[in-house]
C-alpha cells in the first residue's frame, strides 16, 4: 500500500492481480446500473434466464423477474465441475487439541444432498421455513445449503440467544422443523443448547427436532419428535435434485432487532441475493481460487451468512469456520489460526480489533501472518487508531483494509472502496459499490454538502440483494424503511457524511439501535424484557461508550415496589429474554424518567446527561425534576 497524505492506494503489484483495478467500472455502472447488474448476473447459473431485470412498484422492487435458479447448485454443483476435491470448508474446533475437519467441494456436495433428502423424508417442502439453532459447526453450513437445495427457507437463530428469544422467532415464522445440537464449547465450557431448544419449542409449531452430536453432553431426546443428525442422514438416495426456484422466491429469513421490541424477519430473495453475494465478495475481497477466507462472524448474523459461508462458496474459495472465541484459550488464538491455515483474507469487527490491540503487539510477532493479503472490517465504525493498528501490526502495511458498510437488510456490502482501486482512508467506509446510489440528506430532505452530517439513504434501483420485505409485516417494512423520505428512498437509519473526495464516513445510528461488539441490539427489546419483571414500573435503555465493545447498554429503572436486588433482577431478565450479548454495563434506579408531555421517555436526554453534553431545549419536558435527579446520580 502506498500512503499519500491521509489516503492509502494499492501497490502496483496488488493492482495488477486484482479483479478490479480501474475506476472505469464505476463510470460504466453509473451510466446504467440495471444493465451493470445484468452483466454480473450472467455469471451465475440460471436454469432459465430472466425476462425483465428490474421492476419498481414502491415501496417494493424486484430483480431478474422470471429467472429460475437454485442457490445450492450455484455454491456446489457448479463448482465441483472444476474444483471437485478442492477444500471448501476447514472447520477449526474450539478445543485446540481436537482435530479440524475438512470438507472438499465434493464432500460438502454429498453431505448437502443427503441432508436435503433427509429433510424431505420428514416432510419439509419448498416454501417451508426451517429453524437453525446451531453453533459454528460444519453441520450448520450443510443444513443451510440443504434448505436452499429443496427451496425451504432457513431462519438461523444465533446460538447464544436465550430460549425465549428463539421462541419469539419460531412463533413468528411458524417452523415445523428445528435443527440444533446437543451442546457446544464456549471458552472451555459446554453450553447445553438442546436444553435451550427444548424450552423454546414449547408453544410453537415445531414437530421435529434434528440434533447434531457435538459436545457429547447428556440430552433428553423426545420420542417421535427428536432425531439425531446421523439418523436424518440415513437416506436411500445420495442425490437430491435441486429445486427450481423463482428469482423472487424467498431464500432465507434472518431476524434482526428493530426500534420497537419485537425483532423483524428480514426476507431475502433467491436471484438478487446470489448475484450480490457473489460479486461483492469477488470484488471487495478479491476472492481467487487459492484464497483462504476467514470471516470471524457467527452464522447467526448476516455477515455469517453472506461472507462466513455463502460468498466464498459462490466464488469457489476455501473458507475457515471457527467454533470458538478468537482470544481463547490464549489471546493469540486468532493468529494461530491465520498461521495454521495460511489465511489470506481476514474479516472481523472493530470490537475484535480493539480487543487484540489491548493485549499488546508481542503475541502477534510470534506468528507468521505473511499469507494475509486483505483485511476487512464490519459492523460498526472503526476509529482511526484501530484502523492504523490493524494496518500496521496485522497487515504489516502491505494489506489493503476494506471497511465494509452494510446491514442485515442489504444482504451484502454496499459501501466499501475496492481494494485494487482505492483509495482507503482510515475511519471511512469509502465509496458505494459500483451501481449503488447513495445520498446523504439533511432535515429538509436535501443533499448534504461535503462534511455535513445527514441521513444515509439508498436510491433506485437499490441493489439486487436488498430485502424484499419484513416477514408477514408489510406495515413495518413500509414504516421502517420507506416513510422518512418517501416510498422511493430507502432509509438506512445511519448518519453519515462525505469528505471532499466523496468518501463516505459512517457516524452511527439515528434510531434506538445500539451496536454492542458489532452486534445489533435494540434498546426497545431490552426495555420490553426488563419491564416484564414484577418489581419494575418502567425502564429506559441507552447505549453508552465502551472502550472495547464500542457501545454497551445502560439501564434506568423506576421501581414499582422495593427491590434490594435490582441488579440481579435486571440481569436475569435480560439473560432470559435475549441472551448475554445484551447485558448492561450499568444499572441505575431512579425515581422518574424524563418524559414529554405525552408521556414518551426522552432517551436523548438520558444520553446527553450521561455524556455530559449540553441538554439543549427542554421545553417539551413534562418533569424537569427528573433531570436534576439524574444529573446527581450520573455525576
Ligand atoms: C452498522 C451488519 C460503520 C451500521 C453487517 C448499520 C457499520 C448496522 C459498518 C447494520 C461499518 C455496519 N462502519 N457502521 N463498516 N457496518 N455498520 O444489520 O449502523 O448487524 O446500519 O449488519 O451496523 O448492522 P447489521
DSSP annotation string for 17-52: HSS---THHHHHHHH-HHHHHHHHHTTS--SB--SE
Closest ligand 1 atom to Cα of 520? 20
CATH fold of 437-508 reads Luciferase; domain 3 (2.30.38)
Return the SS3 of 581.
helix
Q: Residue 460: CB partners within 8 Å, gap ≥ 6?
A: 56, 61, 437, 488
- The pLDDT score that the predictor gives to residue 285 is 98
Give the closest residue (by CA) to ligand 1 atom 13.
Answer: 381
The length of the chain, given as a count of residues? 635
The span from the CA of 60 to the CA of 46, in Å, is: 23
For domain 509-633, say whether CATH 3.30.300.30 is its number.
Answer: yes
- The pLDDT score that the predictor gives to residue 64 is 98
Closest ligand 1 atom to Cα of 415? 15
- The pLDDT score that the predictor gives to residue 572 is 96
Domain with CATH 2.30.38.10 in the chain: 437-508
- The pLDDT score that the predictor gives to residue 556 is 97
Give the closest residue (by CA) to ligand 1 atom 25.
Answer: 407
Show the cell assigned to 619.
Answer: 421545553
- The pLDDT score that the predictor gives to residue 619 is 82
Return the SS3 of 563.
coil
The span from the CA of 2 to the CA of 7, in Å, is: 8
**CA of residue 407 to ligand 1 center, whole Å:** 5
Pocket lined around ligand 1, Cβ cut-off 6 Å: 256, 301-303, 378-381, 403-408, 429, 492, 494, 506, 509, 515, 520
- Render pLDDT for 258-303 as a digit per residue (tens, 0 to 9): 777 789 999 999 999 999 999 999 999 999 989 999 999 999 999 9
The span from the CA of 370 to the CA of 398, in Å, is: 9
Q: Do the beta carbons of residue 70 and residue 300 sit within 8 Å?
A: no
Angle at 223 between CA 119 and CA 255, to 5 degrees: 50
Domain with CATH 3.30.300.30 in the chain: 509-633
- The pLDDT score that the predictor gives to residue 247 is 98
> Which residues of the chain, if any, have pLDDT below 50?
none
Nearest to 321 by CA among 530, 101, 173: 101
Pocket test for ligand 1, best of 268, 308, 379, 427 (most atoms within 8 A of CB): 379
Give the closest residue (by CA) to ligand 1 atom 8.
Answer: 407
Number of continuous H segments (helices) and E segments (strands) in the chain: 22, 32
> Could you tell me how far CA 234 lies from the centroid of its own chain?
33
Residue 362 φ/ψ, nearest 5 degrees: -60, -40
- The pLDDT score that the predictor gives to residue 635 is 81
Diameter over CA atoms, the chain:
73
Give the closest residue (by CA) to ligand 1 atom 23.
Answer: 379
Amino acid at each position: 500500500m502506498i500512503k499519500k497524505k491521509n489516503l492509502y492506494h494499492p501497490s502496483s503489484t496488488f493492482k495488477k492481480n486484482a479483479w478490479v483495478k480501474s475506476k472505469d467500472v464505476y463510470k460504466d455502472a453509473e451510466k446504467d446500473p440495471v444493465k451493470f447488474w445484468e452483466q454480473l448476473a450472467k455469471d451465475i447459473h440460471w436454469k432459465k434466464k430472466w425476462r425483465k431485470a428490474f421492476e419498481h412498484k414502491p415501496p417494493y422492487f424486484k430483480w431478474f423477474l422470471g429467472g429460475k435458479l437454485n442457490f445450492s447448485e450455484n455454491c456446489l454443483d457448479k463448482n465441483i465441475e472444476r474444483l471437485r476435491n478442492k477444500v471448501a470448508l476447514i472447520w477449526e474446533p474450539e478445543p485446540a487439541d481436537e482435530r479440524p475437519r475438512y470438507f472438499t467441494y465434493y464432500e460438502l456436495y454429498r453431505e448437502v444432498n443427503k441432508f436435503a433428502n433427509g429433510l424431505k423424508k420428514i416432510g419439509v417442502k419448498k416454501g417451508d421455513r426451517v429453524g437453525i439453532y446451531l453453533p459454528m459447526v460444519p453441520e450448520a453450513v450443510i443444513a443451510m445449503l440443504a434448505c436452499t437445495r429443496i427451496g425451504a427457507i432457513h431462519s438461523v437463530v444465533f446460538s447464544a440467544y436465550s430460549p425465549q428469544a428463539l421462541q419469539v422467532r419460531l412463533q413468528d415464522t411458524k417452523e415445523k422443523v428445528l435443527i440444533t445440537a446437543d451442546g457446544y464449547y464456549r471458552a472451555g465450557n459446554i453450553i447445553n443448547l438442546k436444553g435451550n431448544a427444548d424450552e423454546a419449542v414449547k408453544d410453537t409449531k415445531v414437530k421435529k427436532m434434528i440434533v447434531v452430536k457435538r459436545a457429547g453432553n447428556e440430552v433428553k431426546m423426545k420420542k417421535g419428535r427428536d432425531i439425531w443428525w446421523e439418523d436424518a442422514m440415513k437416506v436411500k438416495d445420495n442425490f437430491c435434485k435441486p429445486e427450481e426456484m423463482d428469482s423472487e422466491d424467498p431464500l432465507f429469513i434472518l431476524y434482526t432487532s428493530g426500534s420497537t421490541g419485537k425483532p423483524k424477519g428480514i426476507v431475502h430473495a433467491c436471484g438478487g441475493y446470489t448475484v450480490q453475494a457473489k460479486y461483492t465478495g469477488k470484488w471487495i475481497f478479491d476472492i481467487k481460487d487459492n484464497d483462504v477466507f476467514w470471516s470471524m462472524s457467527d452464522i447467526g448474523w448476516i455477515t455469517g451468512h453472506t461472507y462466513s459461508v455463502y460468498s466464498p462458496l459462490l466464488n469457489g474459495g476455501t473458507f475457515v469456520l471457527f467454533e470458538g472465541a478468537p482470544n481463547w484459550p490464549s489471546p493469540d488464538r486468532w493468529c494461530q489460526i491465520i498461521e495454521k491455515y495460511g489465511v489470506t483474507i481476514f474479516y472481523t469487527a472493530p470490537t475484535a480489533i480493539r480487543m487484540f490491540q489491548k493485549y499488546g503487539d508481542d503475541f502477534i510477532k510470534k506468528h507468521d501472518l505473511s499469507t494475509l493479503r486483505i483485511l476487512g472490517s464490519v459492523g460498526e465504525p472503526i476509529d482511526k487508531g484501530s484502523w492504523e493498528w490493524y494496518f500496521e501490526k496485522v497487515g504489516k502495511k502491505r494489506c489493503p483494509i476494506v471497511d465494509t458498510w452494510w446491514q442485515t437488510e442489504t444482504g451484502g456490502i454496499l459501501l466499501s472502496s475496492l481494494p485494487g482501486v482505492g483509495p482507503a482512508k482510515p475511519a471511512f467506509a469509502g465509496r458505494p459499490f459500483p451501481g449503488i446510489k447513495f445520498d446523504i440528506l439533511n432535515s429538509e430532505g436535501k443533499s448534504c454538502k461535503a462534511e455535513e452530517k445527514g441521513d444515509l439513504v439508498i436510491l433506485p434501483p437499490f441493489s439486487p440483494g436488498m430485502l424484499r420485505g419484513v416477514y408477514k409485516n408489510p406495515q413495518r417494512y413500509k414504516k421502517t424503511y420507506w416513510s422518512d423520505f418517501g416510498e422511493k428512498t430507502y432509509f438506512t437509519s445511519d448518519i453519515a457524511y462525505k469528505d471532499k473526495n466523496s468518501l463516505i464516513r459512517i457516524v452511527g445510528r439515528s434510531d434506538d439501535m445500539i451496536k454492542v461488539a458489532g452486534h445489533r441490539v435494540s434498546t426497545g427489546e431490552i426495555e420490553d424484557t426488563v419491564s416484564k419483571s414484577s418489581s419494575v414500573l418502567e425502564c429506559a435503555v441507552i447505549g453508552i461508550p465502551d472502550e472495547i465493545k464500542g457501545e454497551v447498554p445502560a439501564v434506568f429503572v423506576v421501581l414499582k415496589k422495593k427491590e434490594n436486588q435490582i441488579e440481579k433482577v435486571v440481569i436475569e431478565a435480560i439473560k432470559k429474554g435475549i441472551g448475554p450479548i445484551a447485558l448492561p454495563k450499568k444499572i441505575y434506579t431512579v425515581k422518574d424518567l424524563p418524559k414529554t408531555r405525552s408521556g414518551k421517555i426522552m432517551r436523548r436526554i438520558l444520553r446527553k446527561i450521561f455524556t455530559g453534553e449540553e441538554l439543549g431545549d427542554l421545553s417539551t419536558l413534562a418533569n424537569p425534576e427528573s433531570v436534576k435527579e439524574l444529573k446527581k446520580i450520573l455525576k
